[in-house]
Amino acid sequence: MATPACRGLRVAIMTDEIGWHTRQLQRALRERGALGRCVDLADIDIDTQASWHGLLVPGFGRELPDAAIVRGVAGGSFEQVTKRLGVLHALTALGVPVYNDARAIERCVDKSMTSLLLHAAGVPTPPTWATESEARARRRVVREGAAGRSLVLKPLFGSQGKGLQQVGEVDGRHQPLPALDRHYGRLAYLQRFVPPLATGGAAGHDWRVLVIGGRAVAAMRRVSDHWVHNVAQGARCEAAELTPALAGLAEAASAALQVDYAGVDLMPAAGRDPVLVLEVNGVAAWRGLQQVTDFNIARALVDDLIDRKLAGSHLHLREGAVRLPAATARAPRRA
C-alpha cells in the first residue's frame, strides 16, 4: 500500500556536515512529498523580539519547522554545546517533534549515563566505573589487573573509537592508568574489556544493529584485526543476520535510552552468554550498514518520523498538508 504524501511538511535536518547522509534524508523526504532543509544548530539564534517562539531558524523565516531530524550536534565550548542542545529542548517544548530529541541525545552521548541506564534496565553490559577521583580510578585498575583483567579507558563524550586505551593486565604486563588530562575531561570512564571473539584465525568482530521506532531493522558485523571495531578506525562492514537474540537486545537497549532510533553496538565473547551491549549511538551514521543491506534506511527513518512521531504529536496531517489545530495555534506577538 502506498504511503500518504505529506505536501507542505517542512523538516529541518540539524547538521554541521552536508553530505551523503543529508542527501539520503532529503531524497526520502521528497519521496513523501516533504521538504528537508539542512540547518546548523550553531546558526540558530535565540531572539525573543523576533517572534512569539523566540527562535530564528535559518531557511524558515519567523516560523518553526514542522519537525526536525538531528543528524549531528557539533562540538564546541561548554557554552556553545549547551546553547545548541537548548535549542533542541526549546523546539520540543514548543511542540516540534525532534528526532532524536535533546534528552535522548544527552543520554546516549554521556557514556556513563548509557551504562547506568542499561544496567538499571537489566540489559547485559560490561561492568563499568566512572569517577572524578584519579586515586579511585587507579585503585580500580590495579584491582582489575591483579585479577588478570583489563579495562578500556574511554573519553566520556568520545565517538568513532577515538581515544580508547587498554589499562590493567594487557598482554601479560600491567598498563597503568594515564593522566586524566583534558583529553579525558579529568574523569575516568572505565569499562571491563571484552576480548573480541575470533575463531579459526579469523579477525574479531562486533555487531551494529540499527533500531528505528523501537524495532531492530538491520544488522552488520564490524570486522577488524584490532580490538577497536569502529569503521572510522579501519574496521570493515559485513552483512549479518539479524537474529531474534540480537534484535531483542538492541531493542531493549533502545527502550532503556528512550530513543527514536539508534545504532546499538553489541559484542560477542568466547564462552559468554548473553551477548553484551557496549554502547548506544543516538546520532548513528548508517552509510556502512547501507552498503551491506538492501533495506532503505533513510526511507525507514523518514517514515517513522512522519507515521509515528508526527502522527502522535500536536501536528496533524489533513488533506496532505500539515496544520496546527486551532486550539494550539498562536499568532505572533505585536510590538
pLDDT number for residue 235: 67
Q: Which three cell numbers stand for residue 275?
A: 551477548
**Predicted pLDDT of residue 156:** 86
- The whole model's pTM is what? 0.87
pLDDT for 270 equals 61
| Count of Cβ atoms closer than 10 Å to residue 240 Cβ | 20
| Class for the domain spanning 10-100+296-323 | alpha beta
What is the pLDDT at residue 226? Answer: 62
Same CATH fold assignment for domains 10-100+296-323 and 107-124+203-282: no
pLDDT at 288: 92
Residue 318 confidence (pLDDT): 35
pLDDT reported for residue 237: 86
What pLDDT shows up at residue 222? 86
Give the pLDDT score at 231.
61
State the pLDDT at residue 332. Answer: 37
* Whether the Cβ atoms of residue 206 and residue 221 lie closer than 8 Å to each other: yes
Within 10 angstroms of residue 134's Cβ, the number of other Cβ atoms is: 15
Q: Where are the domains of the chain?
A: 10-100+296-323, 107-124+203-282, 128-192
Fold observed for domain 107-124+203-282 = D-amino Acid Aminotransferase; Chain A, domain 1 (3.30.470)
pLDDT given at position 195: 80
The runs of H, that is alpha helices, within 121-266 are 134-146, 244-257
Q: Tens-digit pLDDT profile for the chain (335 aa)? A: 456 667 789 999 999 999 999 999 999 999 999 999 999 999 999 999 999 999 999 999 999 999 999 999 998 998 999 999 999 999 999 999 999 999 999 999 999 999 999 999 999 999 999 999 999 999 999 999 999 999 999 988 866 556 788 888 888 889 889 888 878 888 999 999 988 766 544 557 789 999 999 999 999 988 876 656 556 556 688 999 999 999 999 999 999 999 999 999 998 866 556 799 999 999 999 999 999 999 999 999 999 999 999 988 755 433 333 443 333 333 333 33
What pLDDT is stored for residue 309 in this prediction? Answer: 95
Cell numbers found for residue 40: 546548523
Residue 325: per-residue pLDDT: 36
Is cis: bond before 124, omega within 30 of 0?
Answer: no
From the list 259, 261, 142, 175, the residue with the least C-alpha distance to 212 is: 261
